[in-house]
Structure 1
């Protein structure tokens, strides 16, 4: 289901590109994620620092307002204190709980001044990977999890972006899951994203 949705998203973007390339602005972006899992009691685990990368299209509605759908791979989750006090497994000091999503935000983009915009809107997020990594600095130590987190998350995003005249852009964004990560436990994704991109 996740793969089908992702393929369909790229087909839609690709088939409309030739018809609207003079009107729509297509772009790519990437950057850093500073993620954690937010709980109602405020006792959040340590954050996981990772990455996001993807594509976007800006659809102008007026001089000051655009709609910007995106498709992103967003590596999220949290860092857990190592429970291996006796160093039995010879693992890193920290253990990562990795929750990676295909995010599909659909953002309203409002220009405050030339180049500077605020973005806000819903995000439809599909779980792509869930695992515990006992050794985040290497390719070993990964344990896949089956039937853990929910496969779909509904969330929202808000951020600022500055786009230069040559198409280069910088942005900062906060994304938050509105739905729970698990059916029977408290926890929502909370991610600060910072990155750069280019509009063609």
Structure 2
């Protein structure tokens, strides 16, 4: 978590020093997607015997952003709290995480812009709902995915739609010792993100 905060502070400050124009603001909205596959072991099996694809559900996000324009190109780092939900047939998987996307963008036509870049993820809570199964911590504290999308800026208001994907998996294993309950879930999401922002 400290590493993620250091990265965010460094980018916000260094980009601000070089920028010709800088904006800071708040943003929030909805996300729709799912985490990766649920995989379970059967009795006496050496390999995973069952794979279940997660069903997309809605969640939300809220946080702060900055936007630094340099020679017609802008850098947009963000720090967001995200709630993500996924349905796996008989239970739900809930994740609370801190996201730190660092997007490079360009204005392409009037108020329309396109942007893309890496997105750092730090999971602060993951749990199963509507089941007696328990899940342990994820393998990696911080992982990197990507975001790509487009937005419209109308004065201080901004509207944004993006897709977030994963470069690698980040597995969480079942926290039980019973063979029938051995399982894993890939916590890294694939999701659509719809946001509304306001620049001060």
TM superposition score normalised by structure 2:
0.74
Distance 2:101 2:16 in 1: 23
Distance 1:160 1:12 in 2: 25
* 1:69 corresponds to 2:77: yes
Distance 1:105 1:14 in 2: 12
CA RMSD of aligned residues (A): 3.2
Q: 1:162 matched to which residue of 2?
A: 152
Cα separation, partners in 2 of 1:10 and 1:142, compared to 1, 3 Å: farther
Q: 2:117 matched to which residue of 1?
A: 121
Looking at both structures, which has the greater relative contact order when contacts are Cα pairs under 8 Å and sequence separation is at least 6?
2
Cα separation, partners in 2 of 1:170 and 1:79, compared to 1, 3 Å: same
Alignment deviations for residues 27-66 of structure 1 (CA, whole Å, 9 cap, x no partner):
1110011121245xx9621112110111111010123x10
Q: 2:198 matched to which residue of 1?
A: 198
Q: What SS class does the counterpart of residue 137 from structure 2 fall into?
A: coil
Mark the runs of 5 or more structure 2 residues left unpaired by the alignment.
38-50, 174-183
How many corresponding residue pairs? 177
* 1:151 corresponds to 2:149: no
Q: Contact (CA 8 Å) 1:77, 1:189: kept in 2 or not?
A: no
Distance 1:142 1:24 in 2: 49
* 1:175 corresponds to 2:164: yes
Q: What SS class does the counterpart of residue 107 from structure 1 fall into?
A: strand
What is the deviation of 1:151?
2.0
TM superposition score normalised by structure 1:
0.74
What is the deviation of 1:9?
5.8
Q: What SS class does the counterpart of residue 169 from structure 2 fall into?
A: coil
Q: Contact (CA 8 Å) 1:35, 1:48: kept in 2 or not?
A: yes
Cα separation, partners in 2 of 1:143 and 1:71, compared to 1, 3 Å: farther
Distance 1:144 1:99 in 2: 14
